[in-house]
Amino acid sequence: MRFTIRDAKDQIGQEVELRGWCSNVRSSGSIMFLQLRDGTGHIQGVVVKSDVPEEAWQGAKALTIESSVMVRGTVREEPRSPGGVELTVSSVEPVAVAQEYPIGKKEHGPDFLLNYRHLWLRSARQTAIMRIRDEIVYAMREFMRRHGFVLTDSPIFTPNAVEGTTDLFEVRYFDDAAYLSQSGQLYQEATSAALGRTYCFGPTFRSEKSKTRRHLTEFWMLEAEASYMDWRENIQLQEDMVKHIVGRVLENRSADLAVLDRDTEPLRKVTEGTFPRIDYGEAVRMLQEAGSDMEYGDDFGGDDETALTRMFDLPIFITRYPAKIKAFYMKPDPEDPEYALNDDLLAPEGYGEIVGGSERIADLEVLEARLKEHGLPQDVFDWYLDLRRYGSVPHSGFGLGLERTVAWICGLDHVRETIPFPRLLNRLKP
């Protein structure tokens, strides 16, 4: 049986072979303590000079930080160690002795660590975040499958904008220009008219010149779209999905949350309560009462979002924004067309927007008028207008940003740690 540190607790008393790396070495004369990792977790290996062959002792002595190594030993119960187990080592075979490791125990700044992102990823903290990210993605896909959504990925090379024209990355496409996708939504509107309920999950690009803790220039988004689904059902679906995701992380990744010192109580609350739905106008009033200088009609700034979410224990939906400040495709509220039938979901504890959704305009003429108002070219959207010409139906959808969701669930203060290789305003390397 292949040994993994993750399952070491089930192999107490057994002789095992660990294939991994040595993340640290400490020696006290005749005993060496090896901090070992294999990608699934960390375990301490204890080498006692008098108990092992000379070759094993020499092997252990040769190890430097991040040397790769194969270690044999017996798994022992050790209540004082974090995983509850330890390895009593009998043989040590270095695979490749590492040069002096650039990441030390002293505090490094974020820029230094990002320059060494390819190595920084090996730390206990970063591997915990990556496992939680994986769990979230798995849970999202599981939720989509259970609710009848079919994966129909949208293209990344696109001829037009979805979310406004100011933050598009333009690339050369043979003799033409193309844009990296800002959102796969418009294509999901086409596939959902074919399959009923669809989603895409992939990288999304925005050349926003924002240097905030919430912005990446390349981020991953899950976008769901459903025919015959109205605005309210759409909001309920988002709530159910977020609860499912948080529930799965609590269920399967508690050890990783512990590595991050994440307080799980606020997360547990999320799986139990009903998320408040707050009208845009009401949210503006609440902020103004709390001293914000935000004006009615403005979009919320990052600080406003933070302030709003701190007023609640649960994620909150802000609904019915002024149509003027939102995307062209959002359906106007029939009761007051100045407002859009949309929602933003703000994560608690100051995290802010993680989901944006709306009912879409199903009427051809209304949509044509909106394209004009937004100064968007009719010809590149002709195929999109076809969806209103041929069997248009009421439909809604949403986009959930993966990295902001990971940052919130992990309790991180910046999205740069939520993705293996972050792309930021001033960072394209490594």
Which listed option, Mg ion, ligand 4AD, none, makes contact with residue 206 (CB within 5 to 8 Å by class)? ligand 4AD
Does position 354 interact with ligand 4AD (CB under 6 A)? The reply is yes
**CA 62/CA 41 separation, integer angstroms:** 23
One residue of 20, 59, 401, 422 binding ligand 4AD per CB under 6 A: 401
In the shown chain, the binding pattern of residues 192 to 211 toward ligand 4AD, with x for contact by CB under 6 A and - for none, equals --------------x-x---
Size of the site for ligand 4AD (CB under 6 A): 23
Does position 404 interact with ligand 4AD (CB under 6 A)? The reply is yes
Positive/negative CA dihedral, 244, 246, 251, 253: positive
**CA 384/CA 356 separation, integer angstroms:** 20
Does position 398 interact with ligand 4AD (CB under 6 A)? The reply is yes
**CA 136/CA 213 separation, integer angstroms:** 20
Q: How far is the CB of 356 from Mg ion (least distance, A)?
A: 3
**CA 133/CA 401 separation, integer angstroms:** 12
Does position 348 interact with ligand 4AD (CB under 6 A)? The reply is no
One residue of 357, 367, 408, 410 binding ligand 4AD per CB under 6 A: 357
Which listed option, ligand 4AD, Mg ion, none, makes contact with residue 185 (CB within 5 to 8 Å by class)? ligand 4AD
Residue closer to ligand 4AD by CB (options 134, 353) is 353
**CA 202/CA 154 separation, integer angstroms:** 8
Does position 187 interact with ligand 4AD (CB under 6 A)? The reply is no
Which residue's structure tokens are 């699934």? 40
Does position 352 interact with ligand 4AD (CB under 6 A)? The reply is no
Q: Which stretch binds Mg ion (CB under 5 A): 27-35, 90-98, 354-362, 411-419?
A: 354-362
- How many alpha carbons lie under 13 Å from residue 270 in its C-beta half-sphere? 28
Nearest Cα neighbor of 398 from 425, 352, 358, 366 is 358
Close Cβ partners of 411 (under 8 Å, ≥ 6 residues apart)? 260, 261, 262, 263, 349
Does position 128 interact with ligand 4AD (CB under 6 A)? The reply is no
Q: Residues 255 to 284: which contact Mg ion by CB under 5 A?
A: none
Q: Which stretch binds ligand 4AD (CB under 6 A): 126-134, 252-260, 352-360, 416-424?
A: 352-360
Please report how the helices 231-252 and 124-146 are oriented relative to each other, as an axis angle in degrees rounded to 10. 140
Does position 315 interact with Mg ion (CB under 5 A)? The reply is no
Q: Which stretch binds Mg ion (CB under 5 A): 153-161, 224-232, 278-286, 350-358?
A: 350-358
Which regions of 41-119 does DSSP assign to beta strands (E)? 42-48, 67-77, 85-96
**CA 89/CA 25 separation, integer angstroms:** 14
Does position 356 interact with Mg ion (CB under 5 A)? The reply is yes
Residue closer to ligand 4AD by CB (options 43, 323) is 323
Retrieve residue 124's tokens: 């206990």
Q: Specify the DSSP class assigned to residue 9.
A: G
**CA 140/CA 153 separation, integer angstroms:** 15
In the shown chain, the binding pattern of residues 65 to 104 toward ligand 4AD, with x for contact by CB under 6 A and - for none, equals ----------------------------------------
Q: Residues 226 to 245: which contact ligand 4AD by CB under 6 A?
A: none
| Alpha helices (runs of H) in 165-311, residue ranges in sequence order | 185-195, 231-252, 254-259, 265-272, 280-289, 302-309
**CA 201/CA 178 separation, integer angstroms:** 20
For β-strands 150-151 and 197-205, DSSP reports them as: parallel
Which residue's structure tokens are 């070992």? 36
Chain residue whose CB lies nearest ligand 4AD? 401
State the distance between the two ends of the chain, measured CA to CA, in whole angstroms: 36
Q: How far is the CB of 390 from ligand 4AD (least distance, A)?
A: 21
Which listed option, ligand 4AD, Mg ion, none, makes contact with residue 192 (CB within 5 to 8 Å by class)? none
The residues of the shown chain that bind ligand 4AD, judged by CB under 6 A, are 162-163, 183, 185, 206, 208, 215-216, 219, 221, 223, 353-357, 397-399, 401, 403-404, 415
The residues of the shown chain that bind Mg ion, judged by CB under 5 A, are 356
